[in-house]
Amino acid sequence: MEHNMDEKRKISLQRADELYNEIEDFLQFKEEFLRETAKRRDIISRQHKKELMEYFGASPEDWDDWHWQLKNRISSVSTLGKFIRLSEKQQKTMAEISKKYRWATTPYYLSLMDYEDMSYPINKMALPSPEENDASGELDPMGEEFTNPAPCITRRYPNRLIVNVTSSCAMFCRHCQRRRLIGESDRIESEANVSAAIEYIRNTREIRDVLITGGDPMMLPDELLEKIISRIREIPHVEIIRIGTRVPVTMPQRITPELAEMLKKYHPLYINTQFNHPGELTEDAVRACERLADAGIPIGNQMVFLKGINNDKYIVQLLNEGLLKARVRPYYIFHPKQVTGTKHFQITVEEGLKIMEYLRGHTSGLAIPQYIVNAPNGYGKIPLLPNYIKESDESHARLKTWEGREVEIGYFDGQ
Ligand code: SF4
């Protein structure tokens, strides 16, 4: 049927109304969330920062210095109790758990927490909880220890591998999927081990992509990190180098202008980080990401689905849209693994897929990462997608759109 201009405009306006209705609830959620977050940042976190600086006798320059942040990490329950309201029972349980699984948080990350409410997502990612006592699961569900052909190396794919250079992190995340590597002390791999790893890469010509991780490789001083990166960069068959780090989230002070200057000498270099909640996208964190982006480093985010943190479609949408504003591309969403002590963060694949299904159509494609399950035994990543195919054969396919409409596509000549 032919439509004149006025009719076309009328139909377009009706469609625009329909589309607005699709997103109205999210817009309300966003407005409330941003109002609440602004209050937290401008009043609460600022106050927390002031109290922490007073407690440690720190100057603003100290606070902005990552060495200071690292030196003053909080890892004792009694120190924590000076800031966060904890009952005696909570303190006792936390102290017990910290004997089993190490914990520490930077003063910066502590300043973002809710001092009254332990269920606030930032608290839950950083502070030990009694649920960690649940012994189900495994410490190494991906069998990384069986994909370790040389010191510090994990190899699960034909042409790429991981080099683990340290067991240290700025903060010991409660959901950490590699908590077995996070030892009693901050261990940097010995020069002999790192050299053996680099030799393995040099002698393995099919390796074109090297991911430097840990722990968190940004815990290394600039000189040592540069030594490792430059030696890997010298290997002719290594095309790209990637660094996995959570410091833009947990200690953004680490991303100094000097570090960015050093890293940009070793392009093509990529950084993957892990923001899990929009509350982590502070001014400091955004500045750290922008500094890396200004150095020409593409940054990807690898969120982990975590119950009570981000198993909510609007939270994931807000996070991913906020990341794009900070020039970070949402890259993967990982399904949580069955790591001992993290059962309370577990969600089901169905729950994850519903969130992925919602994202399509409700946000830019750039804000939709790939949902990944890591296969047990080191068999690699399995991408998961909601099912959009209703039926298909050689002549046609019936598909579902993001709004749930069924459509049919045919093929030329029935092929
Ligand atoms: S920064 Fe990464 S490796 Fe370190 S504790 Fe957190 S999740 Fe684990």
How remote is the CA of residue 77 from the centroid of ligand 1, in Å? 20
Note the pLDDT of residue 182: 67
How remote is the CA of residue 233 from the centroid of ligand 1, in Å? 25
Q: Is 169 near ligand 1, meaning CB less than 6 Å away? A: yes
**Do 381 and 373 form a contact (C-beta atoms < 8 A)?**
yes
Note the pLDDT of residue 23: 95
How remote is the CA of residue 359 from the centroid of ligand 1, in Å? 26
Note the pLDDT of residue 183: 60
Would strands 160-164 and 269-273 be described as parallel, antiparallel, or unpaired? unpaired
- How far the first Cα of the chain sits from its last, in Å, is 29
Q: Radius of gyration of the chain from Cα atoms?
A: 23
How remote is the CA of residue 221 from the centroid of ligand 1, in Å? 18
Q: Is 275 near ligand 1, meaning CB less than 6 Å away? A: no
Mean pLDDT of the chain: 94
How remote is the CA of residue 362 from the centroid of ligand 1, in Å? 31
Note the pLDDT of residue 414: 54
Q: Is the pLDDT of residue 242 over 70?
A: yes
**Do 82 and 55 form a contact (C-beta atoms < 8 A)?**
yes
Note the pLDDT of residue 230: 98
Identify which of 176, 332, 339 to mutate to test ligand 1's pocket (most ligand atoms within 8 A of the CB): 176
Q: Is 126 near ligand 1, meaning CB less than 6 Å away? A: no
- For 415, the token pair is 């092929």
Q: Is 40 near ligand 1, meaning CB less than 6 Å away? A: no
Q: Is 217 near ligand 1, meaning CB less than 6 Å away? A: no
Atom of ligand 1 nearest to the CA of 215: 3
Average pLDDT (319-330) is 98
Note the pLDDT of residue 336: 96
Note the pLDDT of residue 191: 95
Q: Is 337 near ligand 1, meaning CB less than 6 Å away? A: no
Q: Is 244 near ligand 1, meaning CB less than 6 Å away? A: no
Strand partners, 271: 243, 299
pLDDT category at 41 given cuts 50, 70, 90 is confident
Average pLDDT (379-384) is 93
Average pLDDT (247-275) is 98
C-alpha 321: how far from chain center:
14
Note the pLDDT of residue 3: 87
Atom of ligand 1 nearest to the CA of 169: 4
Tokens 């409700």 sit at which residue?
362
| Of 100, 175, 180, residue with least CA distance to 148 | 180
**Which pLDDT tens digit goes with each residue over 122-131?**
999 999 999 9
| Of 168, 86, 166, residue with least CA distance to 127 | 86
Residue 336, CB-side half-sphere exposure with 13 Å CA sphere: 26
Q: Is the pLDDT of residue 378 over 90?
A: no
Note the pLDDT of residue 248: 98
Residue owning the nearest CA to atom 7 of ligand 1: 176
Note the pLDDT of residue 128: 94
Q: Is the pLDDT of residue 415 over 70?
A: no
Q: Is the pLDDT of residue 214 over 70?
A: yes
Q: Is 220 near ligand 1, meaning CB less than 6 Å away? A: no
Q: Is the pLDDT of residue 43 over 90?
A: no
Rounded to whole angstroms, the Cα distance separating 196 from 200 reads 6
Q: 76-80 long-range contacts, Cβ below 8 Å, gap at least 24?
A: 80/110, 80/127
Residue owning the nearest CA to atom 6 of ligand 1: 173
Residue owning the nearest CA to atom 3 of ligand 1: 215
Atom of ligand 1 nearest to the CA of 250: 1
How remote is the CA of residue 235 from the centroid of ligand 1, in Å? 28
pTM (2 d.p.): 0.95
Atom of ligand 1 nearest to the CA of 179: 8
Q: Is 172 near ligand 1, meaning CB less than 6 Å away? A: yes
pLDDT category at 146 given cuts 50, 70, 90 is confident
pLDDT category at 398 given cuts 50, 70, 90 is very high
Note the pLDDT of residue 184: 66
User: So where are the chain's domains?
Assistant: 144-381, 385-415
Note the pLDDT of residue 294: 98
Among the CATH numbers 3.30.70.260, 1.10.3720.10, 3.30.460.80, 3.20.20.70, which is that of 144-381? 3.20.20.70
**Which pLDDT tens digit goes with each residue over 151-188?**
999 999 999 999 999 989 999 999 998 787 666 678 89
Rounded to whole angstroms, the Cα distance separating 240 from 249 reads 24
Q: Is 173 near ligand 1, meaning CB less than 6 Å away? A: yes
Average pLDDT (195-213) is 98
How remote is the CA of residue 205 from the centroid of ligand 1, in Å? 30
Q: Which residues contact 360 (CB under 8 A, 6 or more apart)?
A: 368, 386, 402
Average pLDDT (280-290) is 97
